[in-house]
């Protein structure tokens, strides 16, 4: 079966750095997405990785290792508004998007 | 950037009512739209994939006669929850994609449906 694992919940301090991990086992791979979802709102797109390595976008970076079936989202200089759920999703060989359950990130002052 | 509009935002209605939710792509043509359902503290569950001009593809376990999807144009898809019951209460979200599958999905704001 297809499986995506993310921690259920993480807590971090304002101004700090946090890394949210995602491991996946899917039938094929055509890229990995990260989305942010605030409570009661729809997800918004953060990043897409299809090649190994680190992609940086301002305070957010996303890393991919296809050989390890692993990705992480790195958030720097955390702000209170970063409190949200972060969803990892993988595009499989049939171009079906497989969603992880999401990681709820709690930022404390 | 790509914008998806979803209406209504909130619906509260009696059991047995049918509810229609609209999803529009505002500044692009969306060949494919997706309908999701999300229960509290759970992840997104894909209900169906809607392709313009053809029948929707439903995920296993989703009743196609209960959740009617119409994608009549490249900018509009509708989801009708027929004869809704309290167990259908959920957060329904649509998304659309510009171009190929490797492009990100852009989500509407979601519809919170409460059936009394």
Rounded to 10 degrees, what is the CA torsion of A49, A10, A41, A70? 20
Please give the C-alpha separations between residue B98 and each of A62, B32, B66, B69, B107, in angstroms, as whole numbers. 22, 8, 28, 20, 12
CA distance A43 to chain B (A): 6
Distance in angstroms (rounded) separating the CA atoms of residues B6 and B115: 19
CB contact under 8 A, A41 and B105: no
Average pLDDT over residues A94-102: 90
Q: Which residue has the higher pLDDT, B27 or A91?
A: A91
Q: What percent of chain B has a predicted confidence (pLDDT) above 70? A: 98
| Alpha-carbon separation of residue B78 from A44, B15, B34, B98 (angstroms) | 21, 20, 10, 18
Least reliable range by pLDDT among A20-34, B54-68, B92-106 = B92-106
Average pLDDT over residues A61-81: 98
Predicted local distance difference test score (pLDDT) of residue B1: 62
Determine the Cα–Cα distance for residues A51 and B39; give it in Å rounded to an integer: 33
Contacts of B106 in chain A (CB under 8 A): 45
Q: Which residue of A has its CA nearest to B37?
A: A42
- The DSSP bridge partners found for residue A105 are A10, A84
Mean pLDDT within A75-95: 95
Average pLDDT over residues A42-49: 94
pLDDT above 90 (res B99): no
Whether residues B109 and A41 touch (CB distance < 8 A) is answered with yes
Side-chain half-sphere exposure of B33, counting CA atoms within 13 A: 34
Which residues, other chains included, contact B41 with Cβ-Cβ below 8 Å and sequence gap of 6+? none
Tell me the percentage of chain A whose pLDDT exceeds 90: 90
- Show residues of chain B in contact with A91, CB under 8 Å: 101-102
Of the candidates A30, A22, A31, A25, which has an alpha carbon nearest to the alpha carbon of residue A102? A22
Q: Please give, rounded to a whole number of angstroms, the shortest distance from the CA of A109 to a CA of chain B.
A: 23
**Is the pLDDT confidence value at B29 over 90?**
no
Contact (CB<8Å) B101/A43? no
pLDDT 10s digits, B38-78: 998 788 899 999 888 788 999 999 999 999 998 888 899 99
Taking one residue from A and the other from B, the number of pairs with CB-CB distance under 8 angstroms is 41
Task: Kindly indicate the confidence band of residue B88, based on its pLDDT and cuts at 50, 70 and 90.
Answer: very high
For the segment A49-64, what is each residue's pLDDT rounded down to a tens digit? 999 999 999 999 999 9
- CB distance A19 to A84 below 8 Å: no
Confidence (pLDDT) at B61: 93
Question: What are the helix and strand counts (H, E) for chain B?
Answer: 0, 11
Give the Å distances, CA to CA, from B17 to A10, B63, B84: 40, 17, 6
Task: Considering only the beta carbons, identify the residue of B43, B46, B107 that sits closest to A42.
Answer: B107
**Average pLDDT value over all residues in chain B:** 91
């Amino acid at each position: 079966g297809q499986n995506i694992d993310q921690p259920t919940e993480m807590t971090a301090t304002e101004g700090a750095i946090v890394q949210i991990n995602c491991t996946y086992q899917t039938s094929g791979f055509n890229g990995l997405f990260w989305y942010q979802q605030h409570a009661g709102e729809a997800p918004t797109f953060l990043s897409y990785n299809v090649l190994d390595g680190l992609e940086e976008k301002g305070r957010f970076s996303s890393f991919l290792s296809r050989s390890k079936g692993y990705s992480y989202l790195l958030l720097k200089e955390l702000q209170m508004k970063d409190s949200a759920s972060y969803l990892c999703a993988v595009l499989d060989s049939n171009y079906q998007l497989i969603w992880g359950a999401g990681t709820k990130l709690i930022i404390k002052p | 950037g790509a914008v998806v509009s979803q209406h209504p935002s909130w619906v509260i209605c009696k059991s047995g009512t049918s509810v229609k939710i609209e999803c529009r792509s505002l500044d692009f043509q969306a060949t494919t739209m997706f309908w999701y359902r999300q229960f509290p503290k759970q992840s997104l569950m894909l209900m169906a994939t809607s392709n313009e001009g053809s029948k929707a593809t439903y995920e296993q376990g989703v009743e196609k006669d209960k959740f009617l999807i119409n994608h009549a144009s490249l900018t509009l898809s509708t989801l009708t929850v027929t004869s809704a019951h309290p167990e259908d209460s959920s957060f329904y979200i649509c998304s659309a994609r510009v171009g190929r599958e490797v492009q990100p999905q852009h989500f509407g704001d979601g519809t919170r449906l409460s059936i009394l």
